Chains A and B, each alone.
Chain A
Amino acid sequence: MYPSRFAYDAPTTVAEAVAILDRNGGEAKVLAGGQSLVPMLKLRFASPERLVDINNIKALDYHRLDPDGTLRIGALCRHEDLEFSEIIKDSHPTLAQAAALVADPIVRTRGTFVGSVCHADPQGDWAATMIALDGRIVAQGPNGRREIAMRDFVSGPFTNALAYNELAVEAVIPPAKGKAVGGYLKLERRVGDFATASVAVALDMNGDVVTRAGCALAGVGGKTIDANEAISVLVGKTLTAESIEAAAEAIADAADPRTDHRGSADYKRHIVKTFVTRILSGIARSEQKAA
């Protein structure tokens, strides 16, 4: 690969990284797992003057649960760390299911959760789970930290709300109110394929009543589709054939797909509806079994 010429830094602290970003006034780019940025450099879609490689900032390599159940994912947590994580296996079913569907096993060893969210690819998997789970991004700039709610973070295709001198240091997922259930389904043509359509659903349950409902879609719009409002029809209800149908309809309506070589807009909308139905019916069945 023959990218344009660039300078390269590999700081070992967040402060140093932020200082470099700040000094370069928008001409520097953060390099995390490189699984999106390096292809862009290769194709010369991106030609930054400087790369700030954050892989040596060991303090960012973690994911952990706070005592209150808040999940914190550091900027160097790889897709693979989540795929094989014992920490999120039971507590975060939506993330656990998505982890095995992001890219392919090779890419998963390098790519990072936070990097994927920052990249804001409309077909990216993690941004959808973050919206469904009502997550936040912690950004560190020269003047300190701020938190950005996920629904405000992705501003368009491949654009996010970070300032040029801010580093996303952590993703935060708030604790469930009650029991966390959920799922992630993705239609792909091959392992490592981006989503033709995918659906992230995350519910908090109190007994058999839904207390919070989150949903987001990838691949079916110009950016990640926030379907939280559509799925809110479930709040305060139990999962029945009727409520599931109503939610699936509303969510499919929220999708904004385009016809292309992966399928017609109608087909993609239909897949969204089918996947929502499958995830919710699956939850209903396993809740019944548990009861």
Chain B
Amino acid sequence: MALDELKIGGMGASRRRVEDNRFIRGKGRYVDDVVLPGMLHMEILRSPVAHARIKSIDTTAAWEVPGVRLVLTGETMAARNLAWMPTLSYDTQAVLATDKVRFQGQEVAAVIADDPYIAKDACSRIVVEYESLPAIVNPVQAQDPNAPLIRDDKENQATNKIFDWEIGDKEATDRAFAEADVVSTVDLHYPRSHPSPLEPCGSIADYDRATGKLTVYMTTQAPHIIRAAVSLVAELPEHMIRIISPDLGGGFGNKVPVYPGYVISILASILTERPVKWIEDKSGNLISTGFGRDVYLQGQLALRKDGKILGMRMHTVSDHGAFYADAQPTKFKIGLMHSTFAAYDVPAAHLTSEGFYTNKAPGGVAYRCSFRVTEAMFFQERMMHAAANDLGMDQADFRRVNLVKDDMFPYRTAFGFLTDSGQYGKCLDVALEAIGYDTFKEEQEEARKRGKLLGIGISTMTEPLGAGNSREYDILGIKMFDSAELRVHMTGKAILRTGAKTQGQGHETTWAQIVAHELGIPADDIVVEEGDTDTAPFGMGTYASRSTPVAGAAVAMVARKIRAKARKIAAHLLEVSEEDIEWELGRFYVRGNEERGVTIQDCALAAYSNVPDGLEPGLENVAYYDPPNLTWPFAAYVCKVEVDPQTGVWDVLKFVAVDDCGVRINPMIVEGQIMGGLTEAYAMASMQYITFDEEGNCIGSNYMDYLLPTAWETPGFELHEVVTPCPHHPIGAKGIGECATVGGPAAFVNAVMNAIEHTGVRNVDMPLMPNRVYEALQTGQNVSGMPPVKGD
């Protein structure tokens, strides 16, 4: 008899997260929990100013503090060719500043001491003489012909521009605009935000001169890529480097890049021959590590009177900070921005992009999104909202006319992506029904009598996940695929390792469920391990919602390899030929004689005790999975808000989320991902951003200014599901880690705009803080969020 899949914690089981056992008991093991014998502590001195020439650095007083073992500056790093390091986007980034500081918070010196108090004391005794330079805090300033050149360290860099890039068909798009009845435009800024994991970044470098081996405990989402990067930067052989990423307290993209702190701690360990621990503080994390967004999005839609979209133009201007250190597939200068409008049938499209250096922290990372698709989808849904208004059409009707229909798959987008499946119209219908779309107008009237303004906002989108197929996606030439290794022990228990790295997503729970589904081994009998490059198979790590689409597929594939071998063993045990064996969950049996069978556990035992002649003993294997395509989940988010016109304060009355992420492995975890993503979407829409004043001072460098929403103000979310399995993924999953962060913000913003656009205002930049909403209501004018922030 086949096993009951839900009982063994297989596919579809809302199994409790196994990792939570240790987390809720305070037994997680984060980098900062690791203590090595003889360990020293490192503290980084950061620049207080955004742009200045370094005239001198005097470390004498720091060396004099008792307990100080080493003081490093750009000069000492330069002597070992480590003052600069390559970025993931073929630029260079200062490790410790030599010539200039280029953003507030930049790493200037480091002290290594017996304890962190001493290190901090000594840092404050380093005297740095700065000669200040004007700071550039937005791309408009960066383009000014009189602007100072930020990257005067680079040859052939005469301006502050980093790149020009384009994709799409310009002529076809121009033709579409020539034929249009109506042309609609938007002009938006997606403000700089920060992934802000609760655990900041850190590392413990432990160089053993006797063995020549370097072990680094590190907060990284991509240990194998880091191993390669460290090998290149530190010029150490790759087999002598072991990266261990223990429990991570969140990542959200922040823990993909290589940061100066990691590199400095490694050099410090080599020089002192002692383990060196560096743990960033929260402000250090917010002020210097990989940010998200900071892109200006301008666009136009060519429209026919009946609502059909004929063409789309988009221009992005992106602010990358002082070093172009974006973490993204190499080919795409502005990530997967061209995935915009993938959910809609758009005949012609053209995208142009420009990137600029500014005096702000570097490292555009995909903050909980697949390489800038958050900006792409936000632009798309704000553009859709504006276009429906310009046409005088209902928001839902306008989307229905243009969404890709179920029978159009596989569908090739104007920018060349291939989407494979979906029920877009159905998702929208479920969402509208749940929010009570039909009666909204009456509600709005009634509220007006109470002096309140109601608004409703829709966001429908698909996004490309699972980078990627190796034909198109690589980072610094390393192809993007992933891996899993499964070792089934004699007693039928197993250990699974992958090249991904969980940061809270629950891989230890979910991967075991995939194995349970494929092999019938109860999920509780499978332990999952990730993050140690000496034991895990090579993988590209976890970000861009790629774990389930890529590593998760590898897990299914390796389990299938195991099953294929177990089938041979079963035939041997049952004394029939392999062709006469049937499989049901957890068991092989003889065709036509269901009683005669052996369990997968029987096969595991036999693999170590009774293998047929000619078959290798053991039951272990590895699978590498190179996905044939990206996966494309779909979501329809609808939000209803109430605005207080006297203060600009707005409240969410109801939020409905309909997600189609294909087959759900663990529905509870999926719902948790959506809830968390919507919370972050709400944060960005309502309160969260990093901005700068005229001098380049970072506003948002601590949690009094950079606001994370709490359970107190976060609205409730009503979740619904539609399931369209992915046709090319082994278990039909599409990925869910980021849909809500990507698609959510536009739903909130469209709702607030809907409530106030009777004044004539077309756009208020995020975050929609009460003062901005009030200003829009008073003036009927757009409110720009471009820094510098206004001050007295």
- The interface of chain A, by Cβ under 8 A from chain B, is 2-5, 44, 104-105, 187, 189-194, 196, 258-265, 267, 270-271, 274
Contacts and interface: CB of A to CB of B under 8 A. Distances in A.
B769 A263 contact: yes
A116 to B, nearest CB: 16
A191 B791 contact: no
B76 to A, nearest CB: 23
Contacts of A271: 647
Interface stretch (B114-122, B329-337, B369-377, B661-669): B114-122
B792 A265 contact: yes
A226 B695 CA distance: 33
Nearest to A190: B707
Contact of B117 (A2, A190, A260): A2
Contact of B775 (A192, A258, A267, A274): A267
A263 B648 CA distance: 11
A259 B769 contact: no
A191 B713 contact: yes
Nearest to A277: B646
Contacts of A263: 769-771
B341 interface: no
17 contacts: A2-B43, A5-B117, A5-B121, A104-B712, A105-B712, A189-B687, A190-B707, A191-B712, A193-B707, A258-B792, A259-B790, A259-B792, A260-B789, A260-B792, A261-B705, A267-B774, A274-B646
Nearest to A123: B704
Nearest to B774: A267
Tell me the dominant secondary structure on chain A's binding face. Answer: loop
Nearest to B790: A259
B790 A264 contact: yes
A261 B691 contact: yes
Given A44-B124, A104-B710, A187 B649 contact: yes
Interface in B700-757: 704-705, 707, 709-710, 712-713
Contact of B687 (A187, A190, A258): A190
A194 B710 contact: no
A194 B712 CA distance: 15
Given A193-B704, A194-B704, A261-B691, 9 more contacts: A2-B117, A105-B712, A187-B770, A189-B707, A189-B769, A190-B712, A190-B713, A260-B790, A264-B790
B699 interface: yes
Contacts of A261: 691, 699, 705, 789
A267 B691 CA distance: 19
B751 to A, nearest CB: 18
Interface residues of B, number: 29
B710 A262 contact: no
A270 B769 contact: no
Given A187-B770, A260-B791, A274-B647, A2 B710 contact: no
Which of the listed residues A4, A262, A263 has the most CB atoms from chain B within 10 Å of its own CB? A263
Contact of B120 (A2, A262, A265): A2
A5 B790 CA distance: 39
A194 B703 CA distance: 11
Contacts of A196: 770-771
B771 A264 contact: yes
Contacts of A2: 43, 116-117, 120
Nearest to B121: A4
Which of the listed residues A2, A264, A271 has the most CB atoms from chain B within 10 Å of its own CB? A2
A264 B790 CA distance: 8
A274 B777 CA distance: 15
A270 B686 CA distance: 20
A255 to B, nearest CB: 14
Contact of A267 (B121, B686, B687, B771): B771
Contacts of A191: 710, 712-713
A192 B120 CA distance: 29
A269 to B, nearest CB: 12
A252 to B, nearest CB: 13
A284 to B, nearest CB: 17
A262 B689 CA distance: 12
Contacts of A187: 647, 649, 770
Contacts of B647: 187, 271, 274
B774 A270 contact: yes
Given A187-B649, A261-B705, A262-B771, A192 B789 contact: no
Nearest 10 pairs of A and B residues by beta carbon: A263-B771, A191-B712, A267-B771, A261-B789, A2-B120, A258-B792, A189-B687, A190-B707, A2-B117, A2-B116
A104 B709 CA distance: 12
A146 B167 CA distance: 76
A236 B79 CA distance: 79
Contacts of A264: 771, 775, 790
Nearest to A4: B121
A264 B686 CA distance: 17
Which of the listed residues B117, B771, B789, B791 has the most CB atoms from chain A within 10 Å of its own CB? B771
